[in-house]
Structure 1
């Protein structure tokens, strides 16, 4: 992987406590939050821009309602003072927000996307980023999702959902990479194992 420019932004999507609710079912990649924390630390250490996306439930019964524990960021994805927090209410971080305007205004052309969940908000945001012409990297081991049941009743494991989402994004909307590759592109490969 080529070195990332200093302007490359890390987009951390929906790293919120609502995803700890057992109602989601079984999840893959239990280490995703630790990988996200390592990437956030690396971005901060190198002075690269960080954008946190926070989901706001449109439904009064939603798990992501402001004022509830589920709306809060997980400790591993906690924004620092001065870091951008963009609130969305749909799957894409670009719809109904000023994310694209902020990125363009800052001269940012390269994005690295992490967060929850791989096949929903991460995928939708990555697809739009690619369509908008951003050089987009999706970090496979810094994303995760849950098991699902299809409309015909077939069960899909969390691993299947994650892997097929990555396969459909790779080389079409984004380049799928792993956190060690991304950290190496910053010259910080030792941090991936920390």
Structure 2
């Protein structure tokens, strides 16, 4: 029980960072929204599952990669945390910049014509796996939850937990944004949402830079 209490705050912080990261629509989310609006809810859900599966793959690769590095070079944890903290501060800057902008989100149908459900799933997976920002984001997220000498179960809890959150949130986007009214509602709240995201990312980034363990 004492071991769980040591790692639980970091795990919850990693979950929070992940949730807020996907609350701000990027190329993957916009693809899900655009597909749901233009093609249909089922196609959007298939694309969403592909994106979530890609996110799961990035999470596994990041956990094993960072764990291998830390097991060999314990001092690398400091460099990883500095990198992760700086990336979170960059996300804060982007969120504040978006909050100050009057430009709304643009959700469009994917190029290349209509696809089968499997085709949309595959396209979603490719979108997520070929997004370089996904790798950077996962390094920041995992570094929030991993401490030096953390047991394997900590990484497993982060990976499985974020995967379930990813499936739930991406499917929610596909269902909710299958109507133009939801896009308008989000557009009206976008600046407030981005301001909240920027505040959290700034807090998480500074916390990561200030931590030493």
TM norm structure 1: 0.24
Larger Rg: 1 or 2?
2
Greater length-normalized contact order (CA 8 Å, ≥ 6 residues apart): 2
Task: Kindly indicate which of the two structures has a greater share of residues assigned to strand.
Answer: 1
TM norm structure 2: 0.23
